Each structure stands twice: as C-alpha cells, then as structure tokens.
Amino acid sequence: MSSQKKAKALPINRILSGDCVDNMKSLPKGSVDMVFADPPYNLQLSGNLHRPNNTKVDGVDNDWDKFDTLKTYDDFTREWLSAARDALKDDGSIWVIGSYHNIFRVGAIMQDLGFWILNDVIWRKTNPMPNFRGRRFTNAHETLIWAAKSEKSKYRFNYDSMKALNEDLQMRSDWFLPLCTGAERLKGADGQKAHPTQKPESLLYRVIMSSTNPGDTVLDPFFGTGTTGAAAKKLGRNYIGLEREQDYIDVAEKRIKSIKKIGSGEILQTPAKREEPRIPFGQLIENGMLKPGTVLTDAKQRFEAKVSADGSVITNKYRGSIHKVGAAVQGAPSCNGWTYWHFKQGKRVVPIDALRQKLRGHTTETLQ
C-alpha cells in the first residue's frame, strides 16, 4: 500500500455551503484555473433612499454587506483573497468586481498579496439607476480588476475569441452591457429580487470566455444566485460555487440545473492563431494547392507577384518571402503576406490564408 496520501478530489460543478474562506482552504492548492469574485461592496449607506414619487429604492441593506470599520473590511478582503490565491493555479487569473466604495481597497490588497494586475475593465451600464438626490454624478459603471496570480504567470487570454465576439475588432476595456433586468432577474417566492446585486450573464459570459478554456474550472467564492455557474455551464467550463446563504443556494441550484451543457469544444472556443501549427508558404506548393507561376495580387489588384517553385514570390523588382515582398511593394516596414496576397478563384480574389486554413483542416470550402 502506498504511503502517499490520495489526492483530494476537486468538488467541481457543486455549491459548497458555509464560510467562503474555510471552503477555499479545504480545496487542493493550485487546483482552479480562474477565480471570479463579486465580494460585498461595503456600501456604507445610511438611511433610506426614495425616488421623486416617494417610492423606496430597493438598495443593498443585507447583513452580509455590513462591516463595522474599514479595517474590518480590509482584514476580511485580505483573508479571502489569500485563500483564493492559494487555490489558484500558478498560471491562473482572478477577476474581482466592485464599485467606488471598495474596489480601490481591494486592488491595493491584491497587489500587496502578489497578484499582477493585467487590466481594469469598466462595465458601463446601459441602464444605470439615476442619482435621485441630484447631488452626485449618476453612478453608471462598475470596475473589474483582472489579475494574474503573479508577474511570472502564463495566464490565458483568448484574444481571437474576444475579437470575434466584438465583430472582428480588438476588444477594449470598456464594456457596454445592461444591468440584470426583466426575465433574467431571478425572483424569490415573495416576488421580490432573489439577490440585490445579481450580475447579468452577458458580463460573466465575456469574463469566462476571455480567460479560460473549455474544461477549465472557475471558482466563485461569493456565488449568490449562480450567475458564474450558469455562464460556465453554457460555455463548457466547470464551476465551484461557495455560498453561505441557503436561500441563494436553492435558487442557484434550480437555475443551473435547467441549463443544457454544450459539449463541442470546437463550438465553444475560437482557435488562437498564434497557437496554431506553423505552415510555411512553400507547403501550399508542395501540396499542389498553388502551382509555380501562379499570379498573386493584393486585394485591390494593384500589385502582382508570381509564385516560385521554392516558395518565394517574384515581382519585377523584388524576390523573397510573401511577407518581405508584400512589405517591399507597399514601402511598409512589415506585412502579413498571408492576408495581403490573394489568388483568383473564378471571378473572386481569395486571400492565400484560406489555403493555409484548408491545409490545417479548419475549412471544408472547395478552393481551386
């Protein structure tokens, strides 16, 4: 019998009831790929807020959001962040969302603990609550801090997925998304909000897709009504939820159970171009996809180059790789020859990158 202790199984796709710090300490160290945390904001509100028509604003006045002093809140923040850091893999990352009440304190403590901040993302709300007293600006955003476990972490960032999600434009750090309202807003048996700070699934969808792969495990230490779990299941990721309020657990379990998991990794992730196998241009010629002497042009057919048998391309002035010759004819410092050069297919001109993708097996389109 082996003297080694059997590795503790990770409680994936479960909600653990109880204190979040104790539960995180019970997890194997370095076992989760990402943490998403929506901690108490410590709003420090006093008195009731009413609309101009004298109806009461349904704000956050729950006991779990109340702390006696800022030091008490800081101590709590340091404790749960330390436990989350221990549970995180060395190449994992963490997202923490907050408002102006707490996010600056949280960010400073994260840096003190060794997290390496990658971005602060602004969630701009399309439908924020007005400032009814008219004594401040309308609070129309919340801030998310995205950080790696350390400066040396090889964290995951699905750049190409984010670009595809944003209509092929590089995604920015300001996200314009609506609050959780309408049918998405979960209600309790009394018809009231099941949770006062339920986040929209669109927000978690973007967070999880950006920094995890299908099959990864996302830990949420403040699970609430399960938005993280719902988005994770839809995207083929695993989740671990930590929550101490049984009412929230009941709502979250029912919500997540109703979601069908999608099983195809191909559908759930855009292949990262920088991680795809390298294919030299000459391989297209070797495979008979382009013949020596084929004329290539730019998209507007201003420049021409002929394909050589050795994989170089030739113009009346230049000879070299598709990249060097592409740069030379434009007078540019560099050029991605795969997207610059095109070949004729019937009446169309098609980028030679389409042939590369066909060779990789990413397309079934017939290319002459």
Contact 199, 144 (CB under 8 A): no
**261 and 311 assigned to the same domain:** no
What's residue 263's pLDDT? 66
Q: In what order do the strands lie in the sheet with 217-220?
A: 14-17, 238-243, 217-220, 32-37, 88-98, 141-148, 116-125, 174-177
In a domain, 366, yes or no: no
- Residue where a domain terminates, one of 249, 273, 297: 273
CATH code of 65's domain:
3.40.50.150
Last residue of a domain, one of 273, 306, 323: 273
Whether the CB-CB separation of 232 and 5 falls below 8 Å is answered with: no
Cα–Cα dist 205/177, whole Å: 11
Q: Which residues pair with 306 in a beta bridge?
A: 295, 314
State the pLDDT at residue 42. 78
Side-chain half-sphere exposure of 184, counting CA atoms within 13 A: 15
Residue 296's domain spans which residues? 276-360
Looking at the structure, do residues 229 and 314 belong to the same domain, yes or no? no
89 located within any domain: yes
Q: Would you write out the chain's pLDDT as a tens digit for each of its 368 residues? A: 443 445 578 999 999 999 999 999 999 999 999 999 999 987 755 544 444 445 444 554 556 456 788 899 999 999 999 999 999 999 999 999 999 989 999 999 999 999 999 999 999 988 777 776 678 888 899 999 999 999 999 999 999 999 988 888 899 999 998 886 666 777 666 666 666 777 898 999 999 999 999 999 999 999 999 999 999 999 999 999 999 999 899 999 999 999 987 766 667 777 676 666 778 899 899 989 999 999 999 999 999 999 999 999 999 999 999 999 999 999 999 999 999 999 998 889 999 999 988 887 744 344 44
Pairing relationship of beta strands 116-125 and 141-148 according to DSSP bridges? antiparallel
The domain tally of the chain equals 2
Specify the amino acid at residue 59. Answer: G
The verdict on 244 and 296 lying in the same domain is no
Which residues sit opposite 319 in a β-bridge? 314
The verdict on 262 and 299 lying in the same domain is no
309 and 292 in contact (C-beta within 8 Å)?
yes
Pairing relation of β-strands 116-125 and 174-177?
parallel
